[in-house]
């Protein structure tokens, strides 16, 4: 191995809970490939096995915590106890290849396709529509409390299924972000208005999840939180508001924060100077108090070297692990010159990519290099 890549392969520990063999993890990516009944498909198991050999931790695609939270066709379910065996098959597939397994839990809110939720009814913080979908119905107080409990119940299922942790999905415009955002949260009760009130629902979910972990986890089990640092809308989430979110999350004793950006080096729009990338500002704000996972268009080992210079704790690879499942192994064995950085349209089978994901990649020019 080239010595300049040795930092990738340092062991990492989440305090005294979980030890990772290196600092490269697999980012959560929707693959549209679960069975119609919400169980994990064989194609998905093969896909995860192929990508769990080199990385130290796999964060799965999101699983929905309530029936009306399904955000994608072919998304695997975690909303009932009947899904525990399905989830267990996924955790086992990942762990058998040597990686830790973290289940990402979420609710799509107003972003759910109407054909995937009961009666086509969307729910959110407020009745702000996401074009071209219809306006959602604001959740009632009772429903909010039930939703908080549902995040906890899915966490309990993750524990029973053998996962090593959960990641709370508060990013990419889904329900938790819909409550946090002044664009999608127009409520006038205790769940809306001020920054503190808009943070109340995400923080209640965090506390419920951590309470369930404390009660039921018999072995080390971590809890992370993923967030998107900005929104394009006005009013919308700015870096200033994101700093408020970070400060609040730091008080919750989470095991890590995970930044969701398309490009690791993307610069702030509002609320921070563009002299640094969003991730650099976030790392500075966190100041070492909790591990930070960075992500975003990292394709080569040189990209990764530059990213680690920001003092992030861990680096998540997403599209690159789809393009080349053996990225980590190639770096580790000094074969980095053999890393592939553009999708090979002739090698679906060799790359172990499920057909629904393969079709989505090939019908979305610009999403992946080479398409």
Among all residues, which ones are annotated catalytic? 174
Q: Cα–Cα distance between 332 and 68 in angstroms, integer? A: 43
Do you know the residue count of the chain? Answer: 371
- Other C-beta atoms lying within 10 Å of the C-beta of residue 114: 11
Distance, CA of 62 to CA of 169 (rounded, Å): 8
Beta carbons of 267 and 300 less than 8 angstroms apart:
no
CA angle 284, 245, 127 (to 5 degrees): 145
CA 178, CA 173: separation in Å to the nearest integer?
6
Sign of CA dihedral 75, 76, 81, 82: positive
Token readout for 211 is 């309470």
Q: What is the largest CA-CA distance in the chain?
A: 58
Q: Tokens in use for 22?
A: 């290196």
Beta strands 12-14; 18-20: pairing state: antiparallel
Look-up of token digits 């979305």:
364
The answer to whether the beta carbons of residues 220 and 17 sit under 8 Å apart is: yes
Q: Which two tokens stand for residue 110?
A: 């107003």
Note whether 145 and 87 are within 8 A (CB): no
User: What does 215-264 look like in DSSP terms, one character per residue?
Assistant: HH-SS--EEEEEE----SSSSS--HHHHHHHHHHHHTTT-SEEEE--SST
């Amino acid at each position: 191995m080239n010595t300049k890549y040795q930092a990738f392969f340092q062991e990492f520990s989440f305090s005294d809970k979980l030890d990772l063999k290196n600092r490269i993890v697999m980012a959560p990516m929707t693959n549209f490939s679960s069975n119609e009944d919400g169980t994990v498909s064989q194609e998905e198991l093969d896909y995860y096995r192929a990508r769990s050999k080199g990385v130290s931790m796999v964060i799965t695609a999101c699983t929905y915590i309530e029936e009306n939270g399904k955000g994608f066709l072919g998304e695997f379910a975690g909303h009932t106890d009947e899904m525990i065996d399905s989830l267990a098959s996924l955790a086992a597939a990942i762990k058998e290849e040597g990686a830790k397994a973290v289940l990402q839990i979420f609710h799509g809110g107003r972003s759910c396709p109407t054909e995937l939720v009961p009666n086509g009814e969307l729910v959110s913080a407020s009745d702000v529509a996401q074009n071209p979908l219809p306006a959602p119905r604001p959740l009632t107080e009772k429903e909010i409390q039930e939703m908080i409990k549902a995040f906890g119940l899915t966490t309990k299922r993750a524990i029973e299924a053998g996962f090593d942790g959960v990641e709370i999905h508060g990013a990419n415009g889904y329900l938790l972000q819909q409550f946090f955002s002044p664009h999608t949260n127009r409520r006038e009760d205790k769940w809306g208005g001020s920054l503190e009130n808009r943070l109340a629902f995400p923080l209640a979910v965090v506390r419920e999840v951590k309470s369930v972990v404390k009660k039921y986890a018999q072995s080390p089990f971590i809890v992370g939180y993923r967030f998107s640092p900005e929104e394009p809308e006005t009013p919308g989430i700015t870096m200033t508001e994101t700093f408020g979110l970070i400060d609040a999350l730091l008080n919750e004793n989470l095991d890590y924060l995970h930044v969701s950006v398309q490009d690791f080096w993307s610069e702030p729009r509002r609320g921070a100077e563009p002299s640094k990338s969003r991730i650099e500002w976030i790392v500075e704000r966190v100041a070492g108090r909790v591990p930070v996972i960075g992500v975003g268009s990292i394709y080569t080992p040189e990209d990764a070297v530059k990213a680690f210079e920001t003092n992030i704790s861990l680096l998540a690879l997403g599209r690159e692990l789809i393009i080349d499942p053996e990225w980590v192994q190639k770096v580790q064995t000094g074969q980095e010159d053999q890393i592939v950085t553009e999708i090979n349209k002739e090698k679906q089978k060799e790359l172990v990519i499920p057909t629904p994901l393969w079709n989505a990649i090939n019908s979305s020019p610009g999403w992946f290099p080479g398409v």
